[in-house]
Amino acid sequence: MNTHFLDKRSNVFLLAAFAVFMESLTSPCLKIGSQRYETFSLGYFFWFGLAVVILGIYAVCWQLILEKIPLTTAYLRRGFSYILLFIWSTLIFHETITIRQIIGIAVISLGMVISVSDD
């Protein structure tokens, strides 16, 4: 990856958003692999392997991010993954949305807005 891309602070935050997006995809992959396929079947290994590849991409992105911004600043952005997991659970698995989940997402979103306003 061209590290000159990360010289701009806005690009670091774009990479952080991409990394969190990628990391959020691992849970649906693992759930699909474990629920829709028999243990140790080809589909099972495909979905679990895909989750490992996604986590590898996430790990590389995360290391690049941590070279440019403090851990506390980067880690606060991970709250976005909970929002994405909420979206994936409703879109992919058609899970029921509860008022507690909506309140939780609102609290997480508020915390992220507050943390971003400090930057």
User: Got the DSSP string for 49-112?
Assistant: HHHHHHHHHHHHHHHHHHHHS-HHHHHHTTHHHHHHHHHHHHHTS-PPP-HHHHHHHHHHHHHH
3-state secondary structure of 31: helix
Domain ranges of the chain: 3-118
Answer yes or no: is pLDDT of 45 > 80.
yes
**pTM score over 0.85:** no
Look up residue 19 and give its two tokens: 């990394």
Q: Each residue of 77-117: pLDDT tens digit?
A: 788 888 899 999 999 999 998 999 999 999 988 888 887 77
